[in-house]
Structure 1
Amino acid sequence: MTIDGTTSVLVHLAYPAAHLKTPQLFNPRCEERGLNAVLVPWQVAPAHLAEMMDALRQAESVAGAIVTIPHKETSAALCDRLEGVAAILKVANVIKRHRDGSLVGRILDGEGFVGGLRRSGIDPAGSKVLIVGAGGVALAIAAALVEAGAARIEVCNRTRQRAEDMIERLSRLALERDIAPELGIADEPSAAGFDLVINATSLGMHAGDPLPVQTETIGPGMTVAEVIMAPAVTPLLEAAAERGATVVPGREMLLGQIDPFIDFLLGDAA
């Protein structure tokens, strides 16, 4: 990769940023597609996100940003416009900077997650799904599962109000799309009765984290999926595999987003 004065710079916003895996996939793919662009990690604390977004508006070499934990909802509120499902959910994981400095956000996490399931041979249509977590990535995944035809989605989160807010936004999406999945809140992270169990929290990223799901409730015939990229096999996935479940690592969600990221952020150049 040759970086020069015409290189389009993209930033990956996170806090912390040490675990990020997207640049390692994004940059080689840009080279394969003949694009003069580079994605670099930016570790930005939540308290400084608004200032950083203002700086993006002024940086003419910057084409946009990819956004991850914990900035997906806050960054969406700081965009000038949201497109597609992001406009309904008020969450974004990719932001394009236009030449006039305006920032436009979309959410691609859900598309990538469902694509990862399908590449793993799992069709979520008709499934009963438990999602642990109620942040931006959980919301995006749930929205994609609504559109993919999941029969029931329950959300379990340590703060019940956030789970209730997530269900309310999903209900609005379902109404707009004229889809009618069952939506509810689970009081305990028990996998019993579900076909697909998703950890959409950061639990498992660090040694000593508690397990996000009651693993004794996991069994054969279930699918357990992660959003965490590192470690590649989390303690949850390891426990689920030992109990006979099919496991889908977080990398699958990312792989499904690389080309859509490039297409959106680099526009005509892609």
Structure 2
Amino acid sequence: MSHSAGGPQGITGRTRLFAVLGDPVRQVRAPEMLNPVFAELGLDAVLVPVHAPVARLSEVVRGLQWTGNVDGLLVTVPHKAAARDFAEVHSEAVRLAGSTNALRRDPDGRWYAENFDGTGFVAGLVAAGHPPAGKRVTLVGAGGAGGAIAAALVLAGVARLNLVDVDRARVRTVLDRLSGIAGGRLHEGTPPAGDTADVMVNATPLGLRTDDPLPFDPTRLAPGTVVADIIMSPRETRLLRTAASHGLPVHHGDHMLTHQLRLYRDFFGLYRRQDGEQPA
């Protein structure tokens, strides 16, 4: 990989490409956070947003994978579960989560899927002074990100994890997948009301749009309950604004991405590449 100023202003014929896929994609924060990393490392690479409609996901992904200078893909809602099918190799985190948020092209040409949502979320909680070990957590949303976060919270040593989703089949799928590591600490929860959790997490897309309903009512939570949202844009979701106005500590979605940056660097081999090397 050649060295340059990096980023969109320095795009050349040698620039390596990364894409973040979503539907919608306007809310993604990854390009504004990772492109400066490319520039800092002196890499001729750029990450661009790609709007991949659900009905066209296969065509979009396969087209990018056949593109010779595309080295990796990041994945956001609602594609995290479906994107597993586009990788020949899955990490243990992907198998536990049932989803992926990062794929890379390995030197042998195969695509490798990883998931950093859960580890990034837990690292963000710890860094913000809300370590989940020994805590009671209610997680609302058992989709791609929710499944990854559930696995990471169990591995982080929560005392109890209640998983809630309007689609109960999703919940049962996650419970079955994590039963071997949960040790009886993972349960199907009921829609939160006056929940007794120490930490409440929104892992649904509710909050991306200004007219979305609240995923749960934070005004009915006990004082001191941490309210966390994984939505990154808008940063101040209606859920977090309501929780803060009720005097509850809040945890923003951008913490999860911030703590994934180092993981992305390592995963995509950004420290190791030199001019002319293939991705490692």
Q: TM-score, normalized by length of structure 1?
A: 0.93
| Structure 2 CA distance for aligned equivalents of residues 112 and 191 of structure 1 | 28
Residue aligning to 1:88: 96
For the 8 Å contact 1:19–1:229, the answer to whether it is kept is yes
| Structure 1 CA distance for aligned equivalents of residues 205 and 61 of structure 2 | 24
| Structure 2 CA distance for aligned equivalents of residues 186 and 88 of structure 1 | 20
**Pairing 1:215-234 to 2, within 5 Å after superposition:** 215-234=218-237
The answer to whether the aligner puts 1:240 opposite 2:248 as a matched pair is: no
SS across alignment from 1:130: strand
For the 8 Å contact 2:196–2:221, the answer to whether it is kept is no
- Pick from 165, 174, 193 the counterpart of residue 166 of structure 1: 174
For the 8 Å contact 2:98–2:147, the answer to whether it is kept is no
**Pairing 1:170-185 to 2, within 5 Å after superposition:** 170-172=178-180, 174=181, 180-185=183-188
For the 8 Å contact 2:27–2:233, the answer to whether it is kept is yes
List runs of 5+ in structure 2 lacking aligned partners. 1-5, 275-280
Residues matched between the structures, number: 265
- Pick from 205, 208, 223 the counterpart of residue 202 of structure 1: 205
| Structure 2 CA distance for aligned equivalents of residues 36 and 181 of structure 1 | 48
| Structure 2 CA distance for aligned equivalents of residues 182 and 130 of structure 1 | 12
Residue aligning to 1:101: 109
Residue aligning to 1:193: 196
Residue aligning to 1:37: 45
Shift of 1:215: 2.3
| Structure 1 CA distance for aligned equivalents of residues 235 and 77 of structure 2 | 17
For the 8 Å contact 2:218–2:227, the answer to whether it is kept is no
SS across alignment from 2:132: coil
Q: 1:18 to 1:185 in 2, by over 3 A?
A: same
- Pick from 78, 82, 86 the counterpart of residue 74 of structure 1: 82
SS across alignment from 1:72: coil
| Structure 2 CA distance for aligned equivalents of residues 153 and 77 of structure 1 | 28
The percent of aligned pairs where both chains have the same amino acid is: 36
For the 8 Å contact 1:91–1:136, the answer to whether it is kept is yes
For the 8 Å contact 1:93–1:107, the answer to whether it is kept is yes
- Pick from 148, 159, 178 the counterpart of residue 151 of structure 1: 159
| Structure 1 CA distance for aligned equivalents of residues 190 and 230 of structure 2 | 21
| Structure 2 CA distance for aligned equivalents of residues 129 and 205 of structure 1 | 23
Residue aligning to 1:269: 273
Q: 1:192 to 1:89 in 2, by over 3 A?
A: closer
Runs of 4+ in 1 over 6 A off after TM superposition: none
Shift of 1:143: 0.8
For the 8 Å contact 1:219–1:244, the answer to whether it is kept is no
Shift of 1:115: 1.0
CA displacement 1:43-68 (0-9 Å, x = unmatched): 00111111222223321100010000
Residue aligning to 1:15: 23
Task: Compute the RMSD of aligned alpha carbons.
Answer: 1.5
The answer to whether the aligner puts 1:130 opposite 2:134 as a matched pair is: no
